[in-house]
Copies of this chain bind each other. A is one copy, B any other.
Amino acid sequence: MPEPRLAGPVEVVGAGLLGTSIGLACRRAGIEVLLTDTTAENVRTASGLGAGRPRTPEDRPALVVVAVPPDHLGAVIAAALDATEGTDAVVTDVGSVKGVPLAAVAGHPGVARYVGSHPMAGSERSGPLAGSASLFDGRPWAITPHAGSDPAAVETVEALVRLAGGVPVWLTPDEHDRAVARTSHVPHLLSALVAGRLASGPENHLALSGQGVRDVTRVAAGDPRLYGQIVSANADAVVALLDEVRAELDRVRDAVGRGDRSALEQVLERGVAGTRVIPAKHGGPARPMASVWVSVPDHPGELARLLADAVASEVNIEDIRIDHDPGRPVGLVELLVEEARADHLVASLESRGWTAHR
- Please indicate the chain B residues that have their CB under 8 angstroms from the CB of A256 in the complex: 231-232, 235, 238-239, 242
Closest chain-B Cβ to A196's Cβ sits at a distance in Å of 4
Indicate whether A197 reaches chain B with its CB closer than 8 angstroms.
yes
Asked if residues A208 and B179 are in contact (CB atoms below 8 Å), the reply is: yes
For residue A30, CB closer than 8 A to chain B, the reply is no
Q: Residue A208 contacts which of B142, B190, B194, B220 (CB distance < 8 angstroms)?
A: B142
Q: Is A162 an interface residue (CB 8 A)?
A: no
- The copy count of this chain in the complex is 2
With both beta carbons as reference points, the residue of chain B lying nearest to A267 in the complex is identified as: B192
CB <8 Å contact, A271 and B196: yes
Contact yes or no, B272 A257, CB < 8 A? no
Contact yes or no, A218 B275, CB < 8 A = yes
Query: Which of A31-39, A41-49, A243-251 makes up part of the contact surface?
Result: A243-251
Do A183 and B208 touch (CB < 8 A)? yes
Closest to A201 in B: B182
Contact in complex: B250, A195 (CB < 8 Å): no
Q: Which of A84-92, A169-177, A347-355 forms contacts with chain B?
A: A169-177
Of residues 226 through 277 on chain A, the ones whose CB sits less than 8 Å from some CB of chain B are 227-229, 231-232, 235, 238-239, 241-246, 248-250, 252-253, 256-257, 259, 261, 264-265, 267-277
Q: For A257, what are the chain B residues with a Cβ–Cβ distance below 8 Å?
A: 235, 239
With an 8 A cutoff between CB atoms, is A215 at the interface? yes
A317 within 8 A of B: yes
Interface membership of A57, Cβ < 8 A:
no
B221 touches A218 (CB 8 A): no
Q: Is A103 an interface residue (CB 8 A)?
A: no
Q: Main SS of the interface on chain A?
A: helix
- Asked if residues B204 and A178 are in contact (CB atoms below 8 Å), the reply is no
Q: Interface with B: A72-80, A287-295, A308-316, A324-332, which one?
A: A308-316
Contact present for B274 and A199 (CB under 8 Å) = yes
Q: What residues on B are CB-neighbors of A210 within 8 Å?
A: 120-122, 139-140, 183-184
The residues of B that contact A224 with a CB separation of less than 8 Å are 265, 268-269, 271-272
Residue in A180, A196, A267 whose Cβ sees the most chain B Cβ within 10 Å: A196
| Contact in complex: B193, A249 (CB < 8 Å) | yes
Residues on B with C-beta less than 8 A from A253 are 239, 242-243, 246
In the assembled complex, the CB of A313 is this many whole angstroms from the nearest CB of chain B, namely 8
When chains A and B are docked, how far (Å) is the Cα of A238 from the Cα of B253?
8
Nearest CB of chain B from residue A190's CB, rounded to whole Å? 5
Residues of chain B contacted by A188 (CB below 8 angstroms): 212
* Residue A2 interfacial (CB < 8 Å): no
User: Nearest CB to that of A71 among chain B residues?
Assistant: B261
CA distance A220 to B269 in the complex (A): 9
Contacts of A209 in B (CB 8 A): 120, 140, 183, 278-279
Query: A residues engaging B (CB < 8 A)?
Result: 118, 120-122, 139-140, 142, 169, 171, 175-176, 178-180, 182-184, 186-222, 224-225, 227-229, 231-232, 235, 238-239, 241-246, 248-250, 252-253, 256-257, 259, 261, 264-265, 267-279, 311, 314-317
In addition to A180-B208, A183-B213, A246-B250, 10 A-B residue pairs with Cβ atoms within 8 Å of each other are: A176-B208, A182-B205, A187-B212, A193-B249, A212-B218, A218-B275, A220-B271, A231-B264, A235-B259, A242-B252
Query: 14 A-B pairs, CB-CB below 8 angstroms?
Result: A184-B208, A184-B213, A187-B212, A190-B190, A190-B194, A199-B273, A199-B277, A203-B315, A204-B311, A206-B279, A217-B271, A221-B271, A229-B261, A235-B259
